[in-house]
Amino acid sequence: MTLLRKFCALNSEERCLLLRTVLVVACLRAALSLSSFVQLKDYLARRAVRYTIPHDVPVEQFVWAVRAAAAYIPRATCLTQVLAAKYQLERSGRRGRIHIGVAKNKDNGKFLAHAWLECEGETVIGGGGDGYARLITVD
- Dump pLDDT digits (tens) for 51-68: 877 778 899 999 999 999
Residues of the domain holding 125:
3-138
DSSP element (H, E) containing 6: helix 3-9
In Å, how far are 50, 82, 115, 116 from 136, measured between CA atoms? 27, 14, 10, 11
DSSP helix/strand/coil, 58: coil
At residue 69, the pLDDT reads: 95
Q: Decide: pTM greater than 0.95.
A: no
Please state, in angstroms and as integers, the Cα–Cα distance from residue 130 to each residue in 46, 51, 133, following that order.
31, 34, 8
Beta-sheet strand order (sheet of 122-125): 122-125, 111-119, 96-104, 133-138
Residues 74-98 have pLDDT tens digits of: 999 999 999 999 999 999 999 999 9
Distance from chain centroid for Cα 48: 14
Q: Say how many domains are in the chain.
A: 1
**Strands 133-138 and 122-125, sheet pairing:** unpaired
What value does the mean pLDDT take over residues 27-40?
92
Is the pLDDT at 16 greater than 80, yes or no?
A: yes
